[in-house]
Structure 1
Amino acid sequence: MLSYAAPLAGPDDPATAREVARSVNEFAAELVKNRPDRFGHFAVLPLPDVDGALAEAAHALDELDADGVLVLSNAHGRYLGDPAFEPLWAELDARSTVILVHPTAPPGPPLADVPLPLVDFPYDTTRAALHMTVRGVPRRYPRMRMILPHAGGFLPYAAQRFALAARLHTDATGDGGGTTPEDFLTDLRRFYFDTALDAYPNWEPGRLHAIDRGNAELLIPRPARTPVP
């Protein structure tokens, strides 16, 4: 599945971000068009520009036949539970869109001698998922199917601890409903995990403890692949 998991432009240049997103998505669509037996693609969206993201999502899903969309775990420091992003989630939910939440660097300077992908990326994946859950995004938009890469970051290992966040809010869902720790765990189970970089001895038990074992459908069925000659 082809995707572009990097910032599109600087934080003060939404016009360039829109332009790069369109160029990347059309390039990926052309690759898929040439080899549909081998490739699919997730379209990148130019967040935090919500209007640009809505326009690009419509173009990619309607015109380019994208299999879903990709958003970064934070958009120049703005996390995915930000109320400004609600129109995008509403549109993607209406389309039952598959959304890949790919990690990026969190705000602030990196720790010296610790490469970003080792700790900061799984940390930011987890931070984004928790922010969305605390703000009630998965509950309000249950038709969106959100994938957390790299086995879900740190989310599976500390799901019970994270569920205590429900006790810190009288209205954690953002919709007037409130929630309990068990409700919070139910919302965390709405996320799907991919299996990239998960081949570690202690990974499986934590993952199975956190996720809903019945929620294991194939998200994106595609034609059978032709074996590589």
Structure 2
Amino acid sequence: MSRVDVHHHVLPPQYTAWLRAKGIDASGGRELPDWSPNSALALMDGYRVRTAVLSLSTPGTWLGEGLEAARMARVVNEYSAELVKDRPDRFGFLATVPLPDLDAALDAATHALDDLAADGVSLLANNGGVYLGDPAHDDLLAELDRRGAVVHVHPSDLPAPPVPGIPPFAADFLLDTTRAAANLVLHDVPRRYPDLKIVLSHGGGFLPYASHRIAAALFAETGRGLDQIFEDLAGFYFDTALSSSPAALPSLLAFARPGHVLFGSDWPFAPEIAVAHFSGELDRYDGLDRESLAAVNAGNALALFPRLA
């Protein structure tokens, strides 16, 4: 039973060298891992991943300087496009864009989607504390909606210091994704841009588990009906990266719409031992019959990314 991995990171050598030259040796509390196309393919072959959709992790390319961020976004996107060109059966890619520079982000998305045949766009949940859904992002979201684009939302560092001893990837990342999802619904993005296909990382963070509490808060804030709010929250797509445990899956599968749960590994930031654990838990989960498991592993992603089918 093959898989399509929609949360699989790319680390182009030029990008990694650039981060290290800036003094960035870790991302989200994890050291920058070794990565190469061959090591990616070896991991994929070991865990039945037919195709991996590559994307950049936090911190993305924005480190405070716009021209440099735009240049590095182009480097990453063109590197990823070449991998797909060489192995279209094994790789897809989601373009990175240099938010918060809106004009540069629009340029990068247009170049990647029109000229590089990107399979979608990856956006960080927050950029400098401004969360997705903020009106400042409307022009970008409108353009992506016009194209019916897939938008993968990846967590970033919270706009607050981490708790000593608790690395950001352990808890802060889940809150960051949850904040972005709630903010997107708060600003009515699913209704205003209905052709966006938004994928939330890591099972949506805390969203499935806390959905009723979040919906109550959004109801009080917006006055919109609870049914509409629940529909919008559940209408996101969700990847299973580090989130396919027997504790997390019941909440995720009960909450998400049918067809909206997608396999994700988070490799190489998630080491192979974690990929083995969570992919194994997914295969063993008795709440999914064979047909439903095949949909999570590959079928739902193939519907979302027609080129891969």
- For the criterion TM > 0.5, the same-fold answer is yes
Aligned to 2:117: 65
| AA of the residue aligned to 2:110 | A
Taking the aligned partners of 1:215 and 1:123, their CA distance within structure 2 comes to: 20
Report the Cα offset of residue 213 of structure 1. Answer: 2.2
Which residue, 45, 63, 70 being the options, matches 1:18? Answer: 70
* 2:257 paired with 1:212: yes
Alpha-carbon distance, 1:39 to partner:
0.4
Indicate whether 1:41 and 2:93 are aligned: yes
Greater RCO, CA 8 A, separation 6+: 2
The structure with the greater share of residues assigned to strand is 2
Whole-angstrom CA distance in 1 between matches of 2:260 and 2:244: 21
How far 1:152 sits from its partner (Å)? 1.1
Question: Residue 169 of structure 2 aligns to a residue in which SS?
Answer: helix
Q: Does 1:188 align with 2:241?
A: no
8 Å Cα contact 1:134/1:165 also seen in 2: no
| DSSP 3-state at the match of 1:19 | helix
Structure 1 position 130 matched with structure 2 position 182: yes
CA distance in 1, matches of 2:118, 2:88: 12
Q: Deviations over 1:130-167 (max 9, x none)?
A: 01111111111110000011111111111111110233
C-alpha contact (below 8 Å) 2:62/2:99 kept by paired residues: no
Q: 1:156 to 1:45 in 2, by over 3 A?
A: same
Shift of 1:37: 1.4
Give 1:59-138 correspondences, 5 Å limit: 59-138=111-190
Match of 1:221 in 2: 306
Deviation at 1:222, TM superposition (A): 4.1
1:52 matches 2:104: yes
Task: Measure how far apart 1:208 and its partner are.
Answer: 2.2
Which position in structure 2 is the counterpart of 1:143? Answer: 195
Q: Which residue of 1 aligns with 2:245?
A: 200
CA contact (8 A) 2:236 2:260 kept: no
In 2: Cα distance, 1:223 partner to 1:148 partner:
20
Partner SS, residue 304 of structure 2: coil
Tell me the residue number matched to 1:175. Answer: none
Question: Unpaired runs of 5+ in structure 1?
Answer: 173-177, 225-229
Q: Following TM superposition, by how much is the alpha carbon of 1:223 offset from its aligned partner in structure 2, in angstroms?
A: 4.4
Which of 220, 223, 243 aligns to 1:168? It is: 220
More helix by share: 2
Task: Tell me the C-alpha RMSD between the 2 structures.
Answer: 1.5
Question: Does the CA-based 8 Å contact 2:219-2:229 persist in structure 1?
Answer: no
Residues of 1 paired with 2:90 and 2:219: CA distance?
A: 47
Q: Partners of 1:204 and 1:108 in 2: how far apart?
A: 29
SS at match of 1:40: strand
* 1:165–1:181 contact (8 Å) kept in structure 2: no
| CA deviations over 1:97-117 (Å, ceiling 9, x no partner) | 000000111101110110110
Compute the displacement of 1:198 (Å): 1.9
Contact 1:163 1:182 in 2 (8 A): no
Deviations 1:66-109, CA, capped at 9 Å, x for gaps = 00000001012111121111001110000000000001111011
Q: Which residue of 1 aligns with 2:269?
A: none
Measured in 1, the distance between the counterparts of 2:234 and 2:244 equals 21
Give 5+ residue unaligned stretches, structure 2.
1-52, 262-299
Partners of 1:81 and 1:223 in 2: CA distance: 28
Letter in 2 for 1:90: A
The AA in structure 1 aligned to 2:55 is S
SS state of the match for residue 101, structure 1?
strand
SS at the partner of 2:91?
coil
Secondary structure of the corresponding residue to residue 202 of structure 1:
coil
SS in 2 for 1:161: helix
Letter in 1 for 2:134: D
Please state how far the C-alpha of 1:183 moved relative to its aligned partner.
1.1
Query: One-letter code of the match for 1:194?
Result: D
